[in-house]
Amino acid sequence: MTAGLLDFFVLEASEYVEQLDGLASRASSGPPDAAPFARAARALRGSATMAKIHGIADVAQGLERVARALRDDHLKWDAATSGAVIAAVDDLKFLVRGARSWGEAEDGRAARRIAELERLAPTQVVTITRGKGAEFLSTATAEAATGLLAYAEHPGSAAEFAETMRRVRALRGVAALRDLPPLAEVVDAVDAAAKPVELRNEEATAERRRLFRTAARVLLEGGEAIRRGGMPPTESPSVREFAHAAETLRAGLRESEQVVPIATLFPDGPSSAHVEPGPNPPTTAAERFRLEVVSQAEHLRRLVADGRAAIDTATRDRVGRELRSAVRSLALAAQSFSAMEVANLFLATERGAAALENRALWVLDEAGTELSRPSANAESVAPRFLALHQRLAGTPPAPTQAAPPRQRRAPATPTAPPQQAVPTPARAATPAPAAAAPAAPPAPPPAAPSGGASGAELQALLASGIAGLAPLATDHIAPRTVDADDDVVPIEELLFRGKEALARAISIGDELRRSATQPDAATLAELYDLLQLAAAD
């Protein structure tokens, strides 16, 4: 990991630890607010996972489990719990500061806190034991699988198919089904594929029949494993065949039509020549943007949570497909409102979302959170989305090119003759006055042969080169005496400093908020330079 990225992680992780510390410190008589505490711990875990500092990630995951246990009343907030949480947060401060020089001491400190948090809120592992519940679930999956196989081989009447789907959907009433991947994913996929057959009385296509057939095999295999007291297999050939069938069916479905800005449909010229805006529109563009994306953003965050919890192939494939579709929908919606920063971020995360990559999931979770805020609009979220785009690419959010800051006042034109003018400083915005035509330059030295010069050729080359430099000693760099009356401005006087730089940065920020257009790269670079100048004093 590069030093720049590590510095960025330390800065970001310190903010999350401070949030945890504030929540834990305010929890005197009762537990801390579980929702923000878990959210800060989850954000710290994601940041540490992307930085590949697993010790910090595991401690944060332990705090996240503690927050969920407190929320669900599975853990009491007593002196032992309070002490363990506060100690873990305090140790996180040391671990974050030691991230640049991680060693055995940090490993030991992290291991002690991980073990203590594991005792308070252990990692839950779902197991199925023999008994009436397992026998019932095994029988129910076998009955649903038999009906699906029969329909896949020889499609019958609508009544017979309805009875088969009743048995499949009855599995959703089993509380343990969600803890038995991939059975829950199979039921969801079969239900989605069956709706067009039921609602529009369509004939099952070959792709849908193949999905029903592979789903039945997974249900039979999982039911038999449950009957024996085990867990359904998640990497068997049947599961892989089902995942492939589900992907094939999804790829054949027609995607929703793209919504494009109406201005892109006009011929060349102003759009006012073709349409006129309503005098009293019911909603503004910002309100329509929020109405369009807020529900999609909440759906996106739910899929991100499902992707983080997915462990088997079928579940990961299904969540990856849904997440990719949700990302595409948000990108298209953002493009229709010309919110290109938002659209570009979602387009850049499409591949990572389909693969459920940790970095992409973290970025999408943050993006969904930004779009879900009550005051979110295309302009207000643009800077945050630019920073997330850079984080996705693995670079800290920093200006890529510095631009010269604005002058406090323009320098006066020098009164000296043009041939004696003082060279203009490199960062001054006002160009120097045109100088008199320079004397003819000396003849260039003869070019060396491609094979290199030697002997007499080398001596001639050196002589001509040294002779060509002689006029510089008298004509170009001769010292000049500056009179007291000359209006020469030091370069320091042309730069903002301290409070003046900060005030100018605030002024530019206000202008950007009032502007209807997106800021250009030069304006953002100037804003970054002003902040650096403000911090220098």
Residue 334 pLDDT exceeds 60: yes
CA angle 129, 133, 137 (to 5 degrees): 105
Q: What is the pLDDT of residue 79?
A: 86
**Shortest CA distance to 491 belongs to which of 421, 433, 404, 419?**
404
Joined tokens for residue 394? 């693995």
- Residue range 99-112: mean pLDDT, rounded: 88
Instruction: Classify 3-120 by CATH class.
Output: mainly alpha
Rounded-to-integer distance, Cα 345 and Cα 390, Å: 9
Closest C-alpha among 491, 297, 432 to residue 377: 297
DSSP 453-514: --THHHHHHHHHHHHHHTTIIIIIS---PPPTTS-PPPGGGGS--HHHHHHHHHHHHHHHHH
CA 224-229-235 angle, 5° bins? 60
pLDDT at residue 432 tops 50: no
Q: What is the pLDDT of residue 100?
A: 84
Tens digit of each residue's pLDDT (9 = 90 or more) over 392-411? 876 554 443 434 444 434 34
Q: Is the pLDDT of residue 415 over 60?
A: no
Among residues 36, 42, 52, 44, the alpha carbon closest in space to that of 93 is found at 44
pTM equals 0.38
H or E segment and range at residue 52: none
Longest Cα separation, the chain: 105
Confidence of residue 462 (pLDDT cuts 50, 70, 90): low
Read off the pLDDT of each residue in 442-451 and give the average, rounded to a whole number.
45
- List, for residues 205-248, the tens digit of each pLDDT value: 888 999 999 999 999 998 888 888 888 887 888 888 988 888 78
Domain parsing of the chain, residue ranges = 3-120, 132-252, 286-392, 399-408+487-537
Cα 409 to Cα 532: distance, rounded to the nearest angstrom: 20
- The encoded tokens of residue 113 equal 């806190």
CA 362/CA 276 separation, integer angstroms: 42
Average pLDDT, rounded, for the chain: 74
pLDDT over threshold 90, residue 508: no
Q: Which residues are within 8 A (CB) of 350 and not within 5 positions of it... i.e. 6 or more apart?
A: 324, 327, 328, 331
Which of the 8 DSSP states describes residue 253? S
End-to-end CA distance of the chain: 32
How far is 20 from 39, CA to CA, in rounded Å?
9
Coil vs helix vs strand at 155: coil
Q: Are 207 and 337 in contact (CB under 8 A)?
A: no
Spell out the alpha helix ranges (H) of 337-442: 340-348, 350-354, 358-371, 382-392
Region 512-526: mean pLDDT is 73
111 contacts: CB under 8 Å, gap ≥ 6:
55
CA distance 78 to 81: 5
Residue 401 is predicted with a pLDDT of 41
CA-wise closest residue to 337 among 301, 286, 383: 286
Q: Give the DSSP letter of residue 177.
A: G
Residue whose structure tokens are 């029903």: 212
* Per-residue pLDDT at 430 exceeds 50: no
- Report residue 467's pLDDT band, with 50, 70 and 90 as the boundaries: low
- What mean pLDDT is predicted for residues 256-285? 60
Say how many residues make up the chain.
537
Instruction: Kindly indicate the confidence band of residue 423, based on its pLDDT and cuts at 50, 70 and 90.
Output: very low
pLDDT above 90 (res 489): no
Joined together, the tokens standing for residue 304 give 């991100």
Residues sharing a CB contact under 8 Å with residue 124, sequence separation 6 or more, in sequence order: none
Distances (CA, A) of 244 to 233, 247, 250, 252: 16, 5, 10, 13
Calculate mean pLDDT across residues 45-67.
Answer: 87
| 368 close to 496: Cβ distance less than 8 angstroms | no
For the cut 60, the answer to whether the pLDDT of residue 45 exceeds it is: yes
